[in-house]
Amino acid sequence: MEIHYVCTGSCHGIATEEQWKGGAKTCGAKSCELFGKPLAKRMFCSKCKKHFNPGEKHSC
């Protein structure tokens, strides 16, 4: 499992934990309705390639 930060708007942008720590904390897509808004923390399963909320039970 990895931590990703995602835009919940129409662009569905994703930042890795390293990118987030490096400053990518808001949506950067000018065409997205959430441009400039904070990204949401999600867990990422590298096996099935799906995002889910922290604390949520997950199985592939």
Contact between 45 and 54 (Cβ < 8 Å): no
In this structure, which amino acid lies at residue 27? C
Backbone dihedral angles phi then psi of residue 38, each to the nearest 5 degrees: -60, 145
3-state secondary structure of 7: coil
Interval 21-42: pLDDT, tens: 999 999 999 999 999 999 999 9
pTM above 0.75, yes or no: yes
In the structure, what pLDDT confidence band is assigned to residue 20 with cuts at 50, 70 and 90? very high
3-state secondary structure of 36: coil
